[in-house]
Structure 1
Amino acid sequence: MTLPRHDTFRSIGQILAADLLPALCHARKLPLRVTCLGAASYDDGDDVHVFDRTVSLGTRQSPEEAMDLAILRVSRGDIHAGRDDTLRFRPRIAVIQDSEYGLVLAGEVRAGIILWRQPVASDAEARRVVTDASRLRGMAFAASGRGEHGSARDLRYRASLLEARLVDAFWRETATDLLRLPQAA
């Protein structure tokens, strides 16, 4: 005689594999760090006096909260590169990383909004992005050696925008889902 198996019963192994282990792995990667990459300068002069700067915006416990923080800070325009009021900061890329520095999501800052980048869909696509970004960084290095600081900075920026798609494999599905959600205007 065999007893019918009920769908409501799950073995402890199934519970561990399907519920507990993914939750523990997710928790290990929190909190999420929100930063902004940009260009800082003490004057609006030539390209020689402009330098790259990374500014921390804070930490959050979920990708949604991290996105909201980045969107709020960029839209308010209150991101400063330091305590010095004469130092101007122009945000260029918003970045969300997990506690292990895996990329969760990134986007280009333009006119007070963030244009989030769609994550790569596969490892093969990630390899192509890395190749293209490396080529641009090599061109930036050569431009810097020739004293073309503005051109070098722009090439590094283009490489960073490509790399913004290199979302950690753990976060790719989450990032894709977040970008499908309708955004409030």
Structure 2
Amino acid sequence: MIHSRHAGFAPIGQILAQHVLPRLHRAQKLPLRISCIGTASYDGCDEADGFDRIVVIGESPSPEEAMTVASRRVAQGDIRVSADDMLRFRPRIMVIQDCDQGVVLAGTIRAGIILWQQPVASDAEARHVVTEASKLRGAAFAASGRGEHGPAREYRYRAAQLEARLVDALWRETAAELLRVPLAA
């Protein structure tokens, strides 16, 4: 009797290497931290008088849940820097990171929604993004040195928008898959 390999079966080593081990490795990086980068300012001050701030939103056991929590908080306008009612916060970028601070997913915030950024597809693309973001940060440094704080903040924001694509290699496939599947609101 001759046994033929069925096309639907994969060797156990391949299954372990491609599916089981990456999931176990990602599980070691939990919980995920949800943070929001934005500009804080006091009522009555113009945006040039504002200051950059990172607000920690919370933790989550999965990327899907982290996306849901982040989207809900942005939609409700429920992100505050402190209990001070005079201090306003303008959210700009939402970031989900693992416990080693590797980026899992990030997106820009516009009109009360998060526009999640497609992760880089390769290390070469990541190097290109880093180069472009470094140029923008250099322009921000120069503008800040000239006392142009508003333009400096915009350069930093544009650099952060690019860097939102710098998803840790461990999470790239997961992030790309999450962005292909529509999430229920």
Q: State how far apart, in whole Å, the 1-side matches of 2:184 and 2:37 are.
A: 24
TM-score, normalised to structure 2, is 0.89
Q: How many residues align?
A: 183
Cα deviation for residue 98 of structure 1 reads 0.5
| Contact 2:105 2:117 (8 Å CA) reproduced | yes
TM-score, normalised to structure 1, is 0.89
Counterpart secondary structure, 1:169: coil
Moved more, 175-184 or 120-129: 175-184
Aligned to 1:120: 120
Q: State how far apart, in whole Å, the 1-side matches of 2:16 and 2:179 are.
A: 30
> Deviation string for 1:68-99 (max 9, x for gaps)?
00000000001001121111000000100001
- Once the two structures are superposed, the pairs formed by residues 54-69 of structure 1 within 5 Å of their partners are 54-69=54-69
Cα deviation for residue 48 of structure 1 reads 4.2
Counterpart secondary structure, 2:169: coil
Output the amino acid matched with 2:115: L
Q: State how far apart, in whole Å, the 2-side matches of 1:39 and 1:75 are.
A: 17
Aligned to 2:53: 53
What is the aligned-residue RMSD (CA, Å)? 2.3
Output the amino acid matched with 1:118: Q
- Once the two structures are superposed, the pairs formed by residues 67-146 of structure 1 within 5 Å of their partners are 67-146=67-146
Moved more, 154-163 or 82-91: 82-91
Output the amino acid matched with 1:128: H
Structure 2: stretches of 5+ with no match in the other structure: none
Structure 1: stretches of 5+ with no match in the other structure: none
Aligned to 2:150: 150
Q: State how far apart, in whole Å, the 2-side matches of 1:94 and 1:144 are.
A: 24
Cα deviation for residue 15 of structure 1 reads 7.4
Distance of aligned partners of 1:178 and 1:23 in 2 relative to their CA distance in 1, 3 Å threshold: closer
Give the share of equivalent positions with the same residue, in percent.
64
Counterpart secondary structure, 2:92: strand
